[in-house]
């Protein structure tokens, strides 16, 4: 019996894929991928598609930019706090903007549902497994690069906190980033607490779910610009693969999974090799709590800074809003760069409603910030 993914890929398309691309040793023909392997990162593709998910916003004005330069230049302990809006220009959707995941009806996995049993865990990991090859290949955009440059110049001496789980700040060269919501690049055991890298776990999932791995490879090498699976036509063109239950929609989400039909039925998830416990991504799911030590570090940074720069966050979740509130309570200046309303608009000295990449790239290029702060 075919597994989750193969049941939803048209039989002739799957057979053609197997015949044309899979060798007897389990590898794909030249130009393809080995089962479970992700394609090489495609930075250009991710950036050219930024308009698909980045919310529309007016350009930053000269007066706004000057105000932001003065804000950064006059601070001694600037703390930077980033959210999903910092990654939309890398073609990762946010949650709450008009083009965000919530507007498409996306419902993120909650901690309570994940821990409810194997069915929920299989559903989550099947989607996350399918989306990983794309999500892990996403590249930093101008916002990440500019913030890393400011940090190297000692213009963010108060620290660097992100709500994002994508590790794009680190890819851009930022150091010491406090990931308050964790990261999808690690896996944690809910029994013994061991944290391991994501890549070896992806390999385990591929080995246990070979048919799913084959279908994921098919999606990687045969997809159109919208992410739908396609079938190479006889004339070499690309046509949508029509299945009995509709095309397989490959829809990227902020946490890196893909919306695929089937509910994870039949997808095998291995236990922790150390203790046999349940494995989950090292991410704070909705309904879960930030580990106390991590929350304490973030709050201490907010209370110690003299200026807080919020980038790409609506601050609607308490874990982020409390940091803005704590900074303001400690008499730190607060500035916000994001498109759309935030929960801390009334705490901010000023707000710039523009795309983070444009604003921060121009900020980091200003002569006043060109030399490292002594």
Asked if 61 contacts 50 with a C-beta cutoff of 8 angstroms, the reply is no
Two tokens, residue 254 = 């902020």
Whether 272 has a binding-site annotation, put simply, is yes
φ/ψ of residue 272, rounded to 5: -60, 130
Asked if 311 contacts 86 with a C-beta cutoff of 8 angstroms, the reply is yes
Within 8 A by CB and 6+ apart from 63, the residues are: none
The C-alpha atoms of residue 198 and residue 185 are separated, in whole angstroms, by: 5
Whether 6 has a binding-site annotation, put simply, is no
Whether 192 has a binding-site annotation, put simply, is yes
Within 8 A by CB and 6+ apart from 236, the residues are: none
The C-alpha atoms of residue 199 and residue 168 are separated, in whole angstroms, by: 16
By 3-state DSSP, what share of the chain in percent is helix, strand and coil, each rounded to 5? Answer: 40, 15, 45
Measured on CA atoms in the order 169, 187, 88, 230, is the torsion positive or negative?
Answer: positive
The strand pairing partners of 282, in sequence order, are: 183
The beta strands (E) that lie in the chain are given as 78-82, 159-162, 178-179, 182-189, 195-197, 230-232, 238-240, 279-283, 307-311, 333-337, 350-352
Within 8 A by CB and 6+ apart from 299, the residues are: 322, 323, 326
Active site members: 181
Residue labelled with tokens 């304490």: 296
Give, in order, the Cα–Cα distances in Å from 26 to each of 37, 202, 333, 356.
Answer: 11, 16, 58, 43
Whether 305 has a binding-site annotation, put simply, is no
Give, in order, the Cα–Cα distances in Å from 178 to each of 100, 129, 167, 342.
Answer: 24, 25, 10, 21
Number of Cβ within a 10 Å radius of residue 226: 13
Q: Cite the annotated binding site by residue number.
A: 189, 192, 272, 275
Binding-site annotation, residues for Zn(2+): 189, 192, 272, 275
């Amino acid at each position: 019996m075919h597994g989750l993914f193969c049941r939803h890929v048209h039989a002739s398309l799957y057979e053609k894929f197997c015949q044309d691309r899979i060798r007897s040793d389990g590898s794909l023909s030249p130009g393809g991928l080995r089962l479970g392997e992700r394609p090489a990162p495609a930075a250009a593709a991710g950036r050219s598609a930024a308009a698909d998910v980045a919310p529309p916003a007016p350009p930053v004005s000269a007066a706004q930019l000057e105000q932001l330069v003065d804000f950064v230049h006059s601070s001694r302990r600037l703390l930077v706090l980033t959210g999903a809006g910092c990654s939309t220009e890398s073609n990762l959707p946010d949650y709450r903007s008009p083009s965000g995941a919530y507007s498409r009806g996306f419902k993120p996995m909650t901690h309570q549902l994940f821990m409810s049993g194997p069915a929920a865990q299989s559903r989550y990991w099947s989607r996350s497994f399918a989306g990983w090859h794309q999500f892990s290949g996403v590249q930093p955009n101008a916002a990440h690069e500019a913030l890393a440059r400011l940090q190297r110049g000692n213009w963010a001496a108060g620290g660097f906190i992100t709500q994002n789980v994508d590790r794009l700040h680190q890819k851009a060269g930022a150091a010491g980033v406090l990931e308050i919501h964790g990261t999808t690049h690690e896996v944690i055991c809910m029994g013994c607490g061991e944290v391991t890298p994501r890549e070896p776990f992806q390999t385990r999932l591929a080995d246990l779910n070979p048919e799913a791995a084959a279908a994921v490879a098919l999606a990687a090498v045969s997809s159109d610009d919208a992410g739908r699976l396609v079938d190479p036509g006889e004339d070499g063109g690309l046509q949508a693969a029509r299945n009995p239950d509709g095309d397989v929609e490959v829809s990227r989400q902020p946490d890196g999974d893909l919306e695929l039909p089937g509910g994870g039925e039949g997808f095998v998830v291995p236990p922790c090799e150390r203790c046999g416990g349940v494995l989950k991504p090292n991410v704070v799911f909705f309904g879960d709590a930030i580990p106390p030590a991590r929350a304490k570090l973030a709050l201490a940074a907010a209370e110690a800074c003299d200026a807080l720069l919020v980038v790409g966050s609506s601050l609607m979740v308490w874990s982020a809003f409390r940091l803005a509130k704590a900074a303001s309570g400690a008499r730190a200046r607060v500035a916000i760069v994001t498109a759309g309303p935030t929960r801390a608009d009334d705490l901010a000295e000023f707000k710039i409603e523009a795309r983070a990449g444009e604003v921060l790239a121009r900020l980091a290029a200003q002569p006043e910030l060109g030399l490292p702060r002594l």
